[in-house]
Structure formats: C-alpha cells, structure tokens
Chains A and B, each alone.
Chain A
Amino acid sequence: MIDINNLSVSFHGFSLNNVSLTINDGEFFALLGPTGSGKTVLMESIAGLGKLKQGRIIINGRDVTGLKPEERNISIVYQDYALFPNMKVKENICYGLRFRKEKVNKNGTGKFDLLVEVLQIGHLLNRYPNNLSGGEKQRVALARALLVEPDVLFLDEPFSALDSNTKDTVQLEVKKLHETLKTTTLMVTHNFSEVFSLADRIAIINKGVIQQVGTTEEIFKTPNSQFTARFVGMKNIYPLKKLKGKIMLAEQLELDTVCLEERENLQYYAGFRGEDIVVGNKGLNTDYQIEGKISAILNNGIYTEVRVHAGSIDFIAYLTANRFFELNLYQNKQVFLGFNRRDINIIREDLGTG
C-alpha cells in the first residue's frame, strides 16, 4: 500500500500542492491528467527522484520519505523505455539483480523465466535494445522492472509511443502480468481510454492538484467537475439552473426527472456523452427531445460527429457510419435530438468557500 500524505513538490517548473492519495495493495491505480498537470512529477517524487517541500510517503508501512531511490523498492517503466543501450537485453533485464543479491538467491531463475515467457521475449535476449521495435522495448522494460519484485511498479505513459495494434497487445500483456503477479501498480497517463480496461481506481490531476479519486466507473459516470467530465470524454456539458421551481437545461429544456439539492457554492451541470445523444429526422422515443439545425459534420472514420445548434445550445452527437447514412444528414438540415434520463450525468462542482 502507498500512503501519500500532504505532499508538496516543486521541480522541473512543475509543482504539486498538498497531494494526498492512498493506493491499495495489489491495486492497478491510474493517475490521469493533461500534459503538464504534474503527474510525472508526482510519480518521480514517490520514487525519490525529486526533492519534497513537505509531506510524507509511506510504502507498505515503511516511511520512505527520506530514503534514496535505490532504497525504496520501486520500479519505473518510462514512456521511452529507457533501456540501457550499452547492455544486451538479458543484461538489461537482470540489471537490478546485481544490486539485490538476496532476490537472486530467493528466486533462482524462476522469475526470469516466467517474465521472459509471459512477455515472449526469449528470442531477444542476446540483442542490443537499439535493434528492437517499440513493443519489444516496452516488454523488455517491463521485465526489467518486474524482475526485482518491486513493492510498486510505476508506468509512465506506457502506451503512448506505441502504434495502435502493438498498444492493444501490450495492454493485454500488462493486464495479464498484473493479474498474475498482483504488483501494486501506478500508471500515469493523459489518455482516458488507456485506463479503462486496466485501472481499478483513478485519480484525476490538474495543475498539481488532485481533482477526483474513485473507481473507473465512478469517475466515468459521476465526474465532479467540468474539467474531469471533459477529460473522460463528455463532449456536452451545460449548466443546470432552477427557474420558477423547474430544473432547466441551459434555461431552455426542462428536466423534470432531475432533483437537485440546493446548496450555496455548488454549481450543477448536466453532462452527456456524444454517443448517448440520439439524432432523428422525426419525433423520437427518448425521455427528452429538442429540435435543432445541423451546424457541422465531421467524419472521423469509425463514427461521425454531428454538431447540432438547438436554441442557445450546441450539441455534439456521435453517430455510427450506418446510422449517419440511414438518416441522410447534411449541413443546415433540421433534426431532432433526444436523450434518456439515465444518460444525464449530473456534475456537482464545488465552487469553494472563497
């Protein structure tokens, strides 16, 4: 278990403010945030590679705050793999054992063989890293990190340098490895889709501050801020207001099934996923509907993004290619938009006491 308490850091021009976080034993935890949000700084701070301004880090009951990186029993896999170019693959993988003799004696070669087999890198052992493909490098870096049996494994943007086919394969392998070894894992990424199949829990970080912590489903379904909602792919976010006792979406559409607890300093928004919004040429069977005019059509290959201007609101809907052609949509066409009550995601944004 990792217990991060009130951590403040400032280096490489990034800063973290009062970050507290608990990562459970054996958990796959993802730290999700945009570029420059401080997520890599947080990871390197936990690894002891940066100086803390304040705070405490406890790993498996051991206070590691003042320890050097080599005393923390943490492994890192970087985005660019950081394989040692002066060593063959086998030497790379076994590098950590030079300094942790006790692990050699305990495991013999069992662990090495297991990792080589699961990651299918047996044929690469005598090659230098420069000759490997991105996916192969990634597997070698994973083997090197896991052979020393770290208390925590850090993955820094592990898939972002891979092409999409390799990415899927490596993602599955990471999942399999985590299920087999149950190593507590902290993954840092800016890509929400990467964490979906892997992470048990997620923390959203922005500008050095943790925005929300929860299970993948919680974050996906009930984001607590517009920032998080946008980050997890909610393209449509509109303010909710109470007018004459009715809850109104952007002062335009009454949402009679929504109840809001009225509190000061709390702003409500309704968020919709593009894929949950139904588009039709005539009246729809959805719980709510609204009429509007198509303002733009963007074909993204797998799906088509249709932007509809309805009153003061611009909706973004995602349609499958089939549905798009069925409806015969074109710019400026008048259409109906609909959504169901279960697709309304209420975002409660705390405006703070200031």
Chain B
Amino acid sequence: MRYRIDKLYLISALFGFLILFFIMYPIVNSLLTIKAGILLQTLKDKEVIDSIYTSFQTATITTLLSFVFGVPFAYFLARNDFRGKKFVESIVDIPIVIPHTVVGIILLMVLGNRCWIGRALEHAGLEVIGTRVGIVAAMLFVSMPLLINAARDSFASISPKLENVSRTLGATHWQTFINITFSIGWRGILSGMILTWARSISEFGAVIILTYHPMIAPTLIFERFNSFGLDYSKPVSAILIIISLIVFIVLRMLAGRGVNSDRY
C-alpha cells in the first residue's frame, strides 16, 4: 500500500516547526554568539552573580509561599461547591490578565507608606519597597495563580470516593489528605510549583517598580542594555538562560519520573 501523506498533519507539523524555530533560534543564537572570554569574565562579575542569586532566592521563596498558602486553598476549591465559586476562581485568575507594570503600580500603592497596609508592615519592621520582600510580593502576585490552578486541577482529578474510603477506614480528614489526596496529586502540584518558579524568575515589569535595588537578573540585564548596550547585556542573558534551563529541565524530569511506569 502506498503511504499517503495527510495534508492536515503536514500543515500542522510545518507550523509546529516554525514555532519551535521561533522559540529556539533566539536562544541558541544568543548562546553561540558569545565569546568564551567575555562569558568567563562575566561569571566573575560580582554584580551578575548577586543578581542571579537574588533571582533564585526570591523565586524560591515565592514558590514556597505559594505552596503553603495555595495548596490548601486549591484543595478547598476542588472539593467544595458554593455560590460564587466561579467568581472566586476568576479572582484567582485576574493577575494573569493584568499587565505586569500595572501590577507593580497597584502593589506600590498598597505596600508603600501611602496606604495603611504599607504603613502597618513598616511599623511591624517589614519594609517592602526597595527590598527583597517587594520582589517576592511582585512575583507572588503574578505567579501564584499558576500553582493554585495546577493544584486544584490535580485534586479535582482524584475521586472523592478515595477520600471517603480512607475516612471510613479510620483516617481523619488530615490523615486522608496526607496519605491519599496529596500522595496521589503531588505530581500535579510539583509541576504547578515549577511553573510558579519559572514565572517568578522571568518576572521583570512588576518587580522593578517595587524594587530596583537589590537587582534581580532581569533588572541587571535591563540596566546593562540601557547603559552599555547589547554587547554588555548579552553575557548576563546567556548565563541566566543556561542556569534557568538546567533547573527547569531537572525539575521537569523529577516531576515526570515514573509517569510511564505501572503505578498510576
């Protein structure tokens, strides 16, 4: 039999190729055009290392905070039906549609000393504007929906009957959550955490409005580009790409491990 080429698949695959090219070419290009000497020199630049460290530190704290607050809320949403649930879920999604510079401005308005919340935080010794706390606040606002949605979908896909059985067999609600719901749904939560972390690392617009110094990596790249031009911002970009990709790939492998095994 002659092998027939399906036109629809052919066109779809062609478009897919264009998309992959569009994503990969700039990344590969940026890595290829850097001279090794400049790269090594940049790696010794304390400002660069500090900014990358700050990025990773704040993104990790953001992810952990999202986890602590978001997972219980996601479980609540997955297991309860109530009036206005759609509305609540829409509120969770709002940060996704607001432009990030606008996020920065509206957060500045409440976390700065013009608003009672900002003043109360300052009174409690927690200065937000111009500190790492501000960076985390901006990252949290834009990235938390990703974790909440991923965790909610993950919990919702687990039959409540499993929890019912666990309860009747003697486990409390807490024990059931730990032994059954979380144990089964952790992979979905972990991929939500990876997305949250990645989204936080890449955040720029909201962060610079709340906190310019200490600088995160994207802020440093922006500053070098503005002050010294493309040649000076390139090496920092390349380093950020390399490190982010490594972390991302390792975490994805971790989350996907055993997916094809017989367990689930």
Contact = CB atoms under 8 A, between A and B. Distances in A.
A69 to B, nearest CB: 4
Contacts of A74: 168
A86 interface: yes
B168 A85 contact: no
A98 interface: yes
B262 A47 contact: no
Given A78-B161, A84-B162, A47 B168 contact: yes
A70 B172 contact: yes
A132 to B, nearest CB: 11
Select the residue from B166, B169, B171 with max chain A CB neighbours within 10 A: B169
A80 B167 CA distance: 17
Nearest to A49: B164
A78 B162 CA distance: 9
Contacts of B180: 84, 86
B170 A70 contact: yes
Interface in A155-170: none
Nearest to B171: A99
A163 B167 CA distance: 29
Contacts of A82: 159, 161-162, 164-165
A130 B263 contact: yes
B142 to A, nearest CB: 33
Interface in A39-89: 44, 47-49, 68-70, 72, 74-76, 78, 80, 82, 84-86
A131 interface: yes
B188 to A, nearest CB: 13
A48 to B, nearest CB: 8
A150 B262 CA distance: 31
Interface string B182-196: 011000000000000
Contacts of A75: 168-169
Interface in B51-80: none
A226 B171 CA distance: 44
B159 A80 contact: yes
B262 A70 contact: no
Interface string B252-264: 0000000000111
A319 interface: no
A128 B168 contact: no
A47 B170 CA distance: 12
Contacts of A78: 161, 164-165
Contacts of B184: 84-86
A72 B262 contact: no
Given A82-B164, A131-B262, A95 B169 contact: yes
A115 interface: no
A100 interface: yes
Contacts of A128: 262-263
A88 B70 CA distance: 30
B158 to A, nearest CB: 9
A68 B175 CA distance: 13
A74 B171 CA distance: 12
B263 A76 contact: no
Nearest to B175: A99
Given A82-B162, A85-B264, A128-B263, 12 more contacts: A68-B173, A70-B167, A70-B169, A76-B165, A82-B159, A84-B165, A84-B180, A84-B184, A86-B263, A96-B169, A98-B170, A130-B264
Interface of A: 44, 47-49, 68-70, 72, 74-76, 78, 80, 82, 84-86, 95-96, 98-100, 128, 130-131, 144-145, 148, 150
Interface of B: 159, 161-162, 164-173, 175, 179-180, 183-184, 262-264
